[in-house]
Structure 1
């Protein structure tokens, strides 16, 4: 039986690790679980090893090795760099710069699944060039799912009801929104804004956001308990979430809560205004807006602090637009 060891090195401060290492670890465990099943019939055994690092060893954090060889040494086209890590900075109390990986012209804070999988398969002598096979049943399922979504979209309609404004809270009756719909820094966006590398592309809105939009506009804040730098913004948004309860759907996405909330926190970075790297606190608001005569999703987001008055204006605008267009 062929046997090899996969080692994951990451920062550990009193049982906590940084956000990007946490994502990498979850991805690694998922890949290992899948590959153990795939490789069992090929007489290959995987042994997992976790190495916890102190802040003095942070240059090695977010590193995966197979038989003591790093991923970038195993695969051509994979390079390593580093950038500022706000999560590690919060954990260690010093400015911290953590490893990133570059692959196919893109830079990643968290190690992508495809890199881990290809490296493992290459060591096992089974590399397929990054392509995963798909059985016929799964392919048919995907085609049927796409057909259902397309059919549902064609059959569904959007309606606007300006009467909703007059039936809402008292402050809405004579309200005039401050922010319009466009791609500038002071607008609600329907696509990624000018400052984002994906500028002009449509956001793949998250399921929990879309579900929440059935009830009201959505406000969220991503933060971590114990992170001094993001606490003020987290407290601010939580306060507004309480103030406008019943007029919006609020999500307190605290990484420290773990579980489903932690997963939602990671995925919320699809709303990162300027793309990677992502920082906390991340605040976002999503509503219904009208563009070119059609009702669609409008959103805005921020990293870091937003003043009380500015934050409340955005929230009131979002509620106004939702009431007008739902």
Structure 2
């Protein structure tokens, strides 16, 4: 009987620790804010455009009508290869749950320039590739459901992408019904 009590006590303690560190029951791992790991409504703190509004391209908002979005803008260069491989694994794993735009940064698709301009974490000034962007829906500080995003212009790897995609799916499922686009 003592072992059962200990197990329940440990489980309760773990639950309290998780709650204290901000994990919510819906499974969202990242919060809306302006820090480097947050979902962003505006350009984040580390951006030269910090606090500035993001102009979401229409094709992104249209895609967000049905599911979260992953945008990957890259070149066919050695530097991009590890991120391209990581993105491909995520595409294979989540293809039915997210809308995917894989865009070349060679200028042949106007959407790549629009994505770089809108979602460069540096405020659209540096526009480096590979650019990996994940978009979803979340409540802002007033409780209004808005499009939010997170991006990186670095090699992040598969785990980073998976964490944000899973979080995006969870947030989208939780908030889509209340989104008034």
Q: TM-score, with normalisation over the residues of structure 2?
A: 0.78
The one-character-per-residue Cα deviations of 1:235-276 (angstroms, maximum 9, x if unpaired) are 2112212210111101111235x64xx211111111000132
Selected match of 1:267 from 89, 111, 114: 114
Whichever of the two has the greater Rg, that structure is 1
Q: Distance in 2 between matches of 1:232 and 1:264?
A: 23
What is the aligned partner in structure 1 of residue 66 from structure 2?
A: 215
* 1:135-188 Cα shifts (integer Å, max 9, x gaps): xxxxxxxxxxxxxxxxxxxxxxxxxxxxxxxxxxxxxxx752211110000100
Give matches, 1:169-180, under 5 Å.
176-180=27-31
Among residues 108, 114, 135, which one is paired with 1:286 in the alignment? 135
Q: Kindly indicate whether the alpha-carbon contact (under 8 Å) linking 1:238 and 1:252 is maintained by their aligned counterparts in 2.
A: no
Runs of at least 5 residues in structure 1 that lack an aligned partner in the other structure = 1-173
Distance 2:157 2:92 in 1: 17
**Alignment pair present for 1:239 and 2:89:** yes
Distance 1:285 1:187 in 2: 12
Match of 1:181 among 25, 32, 36: 32
Q: 1:229 is paired with a residue of what secondary structure?
A: coil
> 1:202 offset after TM fit, Å?
1.4
SS at match of 2:47: coil
Please state how far the C-alpha of 1:204 moved relative to its aligned partner.
0.5
- 1:307 pairs with 2:157: yes
The answer as to whether partners of 2:105 and 2:112 remain within 8 angstroms in 1 is yes
Between the aligned partners of 2:95 and 2:160, the Cα distance in structure 1 is 19
Answer 1 or 2: which has greater strand percent: 1
Identify which of structures 1 and 2 has the higher relative contact order when contacts are C-alpha pairs closer than 8 Å and 6+ apart. Answer: 2
Match of 1:7 in 2: none
| 8 Å Cα contact 2:72-2:133 kept in structure 1 | yes
Unaligned runs of 5+ in 2: 1-24, 177-181
Considering only aligned residues, what root-mean-square deviation do their CA atoms show, in Å?
A: 1.5
Count of matched residue positions in the alignment of Structure 1 and Structure 2: 149
Counting only pairs closer than 5 Å after superposition, residues 3-82 of structure 1 correspond to structure 2 as none
Measure the CA separation in 1 of the matches of 2:81 and 2:157. Answer: 13
Runs of 4+ in 1 over 4 A off after TM superposition: none
Of 249, 252, 260, 2:102 maps to 252
Residues of 1 paired with 2:66 and 2:138: CA distance?
A: 15
State the Cα distance separating 1:308 from its structure 2 match. 2.0
